[in-house]
Structure 1
Amino acid sequence: MRRKKALLATGAAVFSMALLGTAGQGANADEADRKTVAVAEVVGKDAARKMAEQRPLVAAADVISAARDRGRYEGFTGIALERDRVALYWKGALPAKMREAVAEARGKARVRIVAAPHSLKELKSASARLQERLRANPSLGHTVKIPTDGSGLVIAADPGRRAAAAAPRAAAALEEDLGVPVRTVREGKMKERSRNNDSYPWSGGALLKKNGVGNCTSGFGVRNNTGAQFILTAEHCGKAGDRYTNGADQYIGTPGPANDPHDIMLIPTSDVDNFMYTGGPDDERGVRVEGWGQVYTGEYLCQSGATSAAETGGPVCNLKVLYFYNDSEDLVEAEQMDGRTPLRGGDSGGPVYSGAANGGAIAKGTSTRSLGSKMAFQDFETASRDFGVWIDK
């Protein structure tokens, strides 16, 4: 699957390029040359409004999510952000500790509890068996998704006419075999997408050059508990031994720890910061990343890949989270709700984020692939779990 990733890499450009500067700027640009602005100034009024409206919903969802993590409950199914409230999907009776968490969350936003036909644990078990079927018979589909409401499993399959005609029979057979409803949607498989002159310390949202050729975007500057610093980007952007530089060919580092299925990679480097470019390829505008947060179905996000920035002059927003994939990649699917292109070649590894109340940004993940108006990204929580990293401040 990833053999062709070097050709298609778009947004993963090493975070080292993230501090995108002017094309003719020297590599040792002073920190003062960069212009830190409020996220609302760069994402647009509509995106800023949506993010602001969702802020109390995210805060309420975080309370519920934290309680769920502490209890490891069997009945949990999913959490979704709706227009003006949070939906908690649960199979069976809600435990006392979760009722307490919901009560606390309701101090931040409205919360409704919805009976789910299947728990997340049940659906993941069924999904594991379904993925075995897909490996044995790829014509059944290429991606397994779990709807947040627990209604069953969704298989994304290529839209060929013959396959579409056979889909209802295949879904019925799978449902009987797996014990949960299975629905097939006709979608092609997303393609991996691989600013321009960042400078030390390295930042997010900048162009990354692999062995002298620009192919991706840097995600975020991160560090671990030993104090080591890295650029977080997409794994498909390169491999061990590759040499990463910025747009002016200043050396950043070579690939370090990576998780191929999750499509995330760390590039060890000398120094990073929490700046993230959000403007066009030839300006210094950007925002400060205040930390990272969990991702929820229904949440609106933005992405700041280097190629998209060059074509649009800024970030791509109005990206609504639709699904969490349940396969070895464990990606998150979002859709650009205006029908615009969500990612372009060279955006891979770039930052996916929401707005913070203080005008900064909250890291949500790094871009991986897209098709049409839909994109897939890896959430930051997975990177934190895989590598033990957090936003460098």
Structure 2
Amino acid sequence: MKIPPITARLAVALGVAFAMVAVGAVQATAAPAAVKDAADTAEVPGGFASWKDLVATQEKLVKAADRVTAAVKTRGDTGFAGIVAAPENRELRVYWKGDTPERIDDLVGRLRRDVPVSVLPAAYSARELESEMNRLVRASGGAITSIAPNVDGSGLTVSGADHGLTRSKVAGSAVPVTVEAGVTPAPASRWNGDAPWLGGAAWRNAGTGLGCSTGFAVTLGGVSWMLSAAHCGSVGQTATDPTGQVIGPIAYANTSRDVMLIRANTAGRVYNNDPAATPPEFSNPVVGTSASYVGMWLCTSGAYSGTVCLCQVKAINVTILGPRDTFRGLVRVESPTYKNAAGQGDSGGPVETPEPSGITQQYAVGVISLIDTSAQVPCTGYVVTGRVCSWRLYYAPWSNATSAFPGIAVMTG
């Protein structure tokens, strides 16, 4: 199986690649079976007795974080820097530059009745860091391949193919900048489905032959669609399954947010399974959406790698600068055990977190966008040869979909 030319070029230039593959003689078939727990085979961090206990704690932290985020947006607070939801530490951390307003203090006091909340000092606000991010992007001249604010408000973290050149481009920054060496982003089904189409399945671009993954069934304007990654195709091209059955046309795409909509008959479920046990295969219902916060534990479910859990959010609001396009608002995720988190062919696939009451239902968090080719590991799942996999990935969060397509709603199962 050959890597498509654009992926090869990006791998050399950036080290961050699209998680898509060229179509070869790869074959895999499976059908949905009984509902199972997609995370039941992964080691549980933080000393929790089960994944159910961890995600129950995480959901409480995320709901508390949502209330803080909403309060900040309502009043446009200039001191807010970031939030960390850390279930393994059983704590929500809010970073703030200067004194917190009285209403935020009151809100934190109420939240502490349910979850531990720490308010910690930040050197810079999120607004200040975003402003400096935008300035550096304009001045980078291609030397920067990714840039993101530090969630604690301490500064920015950037990467570039040429470490020395990248350092020189950020030398005059108004905020502290950490330059990471060797981070190289590049663009990253299941295999024989039928309508209604589910998330986490393989699809092919009939025009280019590239293979990607379906994300989540959504509705917009009273019509059903399938959400996937914009770099997998262009408006007017046709999506098919690996057997050639037509899924539908690509109708809308937002390149900067790396999200697209395929017009299709869809259902609110996602394929999930232990990638070491395929088949059998099963699907879980989608029950809602979740925002993304640093510290969250998530699962990916691309068509080529299968379902992979024990992945943790490390940064949000990441900008990736490619040779042709710039991707904004992405989220960086890593496997702390340095195992495959996603690989080529998984582009557009679901990023999810279980609903804690039974953890057989899923919240839509985003869709897989890029993999870091400098963090390569052996591939797992349906296709373990002929492609590149990584323990670090970037995904387009649900907020990218709502920004690109106002009025979009996830379809529940």
TM-score range, shorter chain: 0.7 to 0.9
2:155 is matched with which residue? Answer: 152
- Mark the CA change 1:66 to 1:94 in structure 2 (over 3 Å): closer, same or farther: same
What is the aligned residue count?
A: 359
2:403 aligned with 1:385: yes
- Mark the CA change 1:250 to 1:348 in structure 2 (over 3 Å): closer, same or farther: same
Q: 2:68 aligns with which of 59, 64, 69?
A: 64
CA contact (8 A) 1:39 1:361 kept: no
2:311 is matched with which residue? Answer: 319
Partners of 2:215 and 2:231 in 1: how far apart? Answer: 13
What residue ranges of structure 1 are gaps of 5+ in the alignment? 14-20, 26-32, 310-314
2:192 is matched with which residue? Answer: 197
Partners of 1:45 and 1:75 in 2: how far apart? Answer: 38
Partners of 2:263 and 2:155 in 1: how far apart? Answer: 41
2:148 aligned with 1:130: no
Partners of 2:75 and 2:42 in 1: how far apart? Answer: 39
CA contact (8 A) 1:12 1:217 kept: no
2:77 aligned with 1:81: no
1:250-294 CA distances to partner (integer Å, 9 max, x unpaired)?
A: 21111111110111101011x211110012554341211111010
1:44 is matched with which residue? Answer: 42
TM-score (norm. length: structure 2)? 0.80
- Mark the CA change 1:79 to 1:121 in structure 2 (over 3 Å): closer, same or farther: same
Partners of 2:61 and 2:30 in 1: how far apart? Answer: 43
2:343 is matched with which residue? Answer: 344
2:223 aligned with 1:217: no
CA contact (8 A) 1:11 1:350 kept: no
Deviates more, 1:192-201 or 1:365-374: 192-201
- Mark the CA change 1:144 to 1:211 in structure 2 (over 3 Å): closer, same or farther: same
Q: 1:334 corresponds to which letter in structure 2?
A: V
- CA apart distance, 1:11: 5.9
* Matched position secondary structure for 1:307: coil
1:329 is matched with which residue? Answer: 328
1:30 is matched with which residue? Answer: none
- CA apart distance, 1:9: 4.8
- Mark the CA change 1:11 to 1:231 in structure 2 (over 3 Å): closer, same or farther: farther
Partners of 1:256 and 1:12 in 2: how far apart? Answer: 22
**How large is the Cα RMSD of the aligned pairs?**
2.7
* Matched position secondary structure for 1:4: helix
Q: 1:323 corresponds to which letter in structure 2?
A: A
2:385 is matched with which residue? Answer: none
CA contact (8 A) 2:147 2:318 kept: yes
CA contact (8 A) 1:234 1:366 kept: yes
Partners of 2:145 and 2:30 in 1: how far apart? Answer: 44
- Mark the CA change 1:81 to 1:286 in structure 2 (over 3 Å): closer, same or farther: same
TM-score (norm. length: structure 1)? 0.84
Partners of 1:184 and 1:258 in 2: how far apart? Answer: 32
* Matched position secondary structure for 2:304: helix
- Mark the CA change 1:114 to 1:11 in structure 2 (over 3 Å): closer, same or farther: farther
- CA apart distance, 1:211: 1.0
Query: Which structure shows the higher helix fraction?
Result: 1
Partners of 2:279 and 2:266 in 1: how far apart? Answer: 21
Deviates more, 1:299-308 or 1:245-254: 245-254
Percent of aligned positions that are identical: 28
Partners of 1:12 and 1:86 in 2: how far apart? Answer: 39
1:251 is matched with which residue? Answer: 246
- CA apart distance, 1:95: 1.6
Counterparts of 1:176-187 in structure 2, within 5 Å, are 179-187=174-182
- CA apart distance, 1:119: 0.5
Partners of 1:68 and 1:102 in 2: how far apart? Answer: 12
Partners of 1:193 and 1:46 in 2: how far apart? Answer: 26
1:369 is matched with which residue? Answer: 370
1:116-149 CA distances to partner (integer Å, 9 max, x unpaired)?
A: 11101111111111111213xx33x221110001
- Mark the CA change 1:246 to 1:326 in structure 2 (over 3 Å): closer, same or farther: closer
CA contact (8 A) 1:197 1:247 kept: yes
* Matched position secondary structure for 1:357: coil
Partners of 1:308 and 1:39 in 2: how far apart? Answer: 13
2:19 aligned with 1:10: yes
1:29 is matched with which residue? Answer: none
- CA apart distance, 1:24: 7.2
Partners of 2:54 and 2:343 in 1: how far apart? Answer: 24
Counterparts of 1:157-168 in structure 2, within 5 Å, are 157-158=160-161, 160=162, 163-164=163-164
CA contact (8 A) 2:250 2:261 kept: yes
- Mark the CA change 1:10 to 1:169 in structure 2 (over 3 Å): closer, same or farther: closer
- CA apart distance, 1:51: 2.9
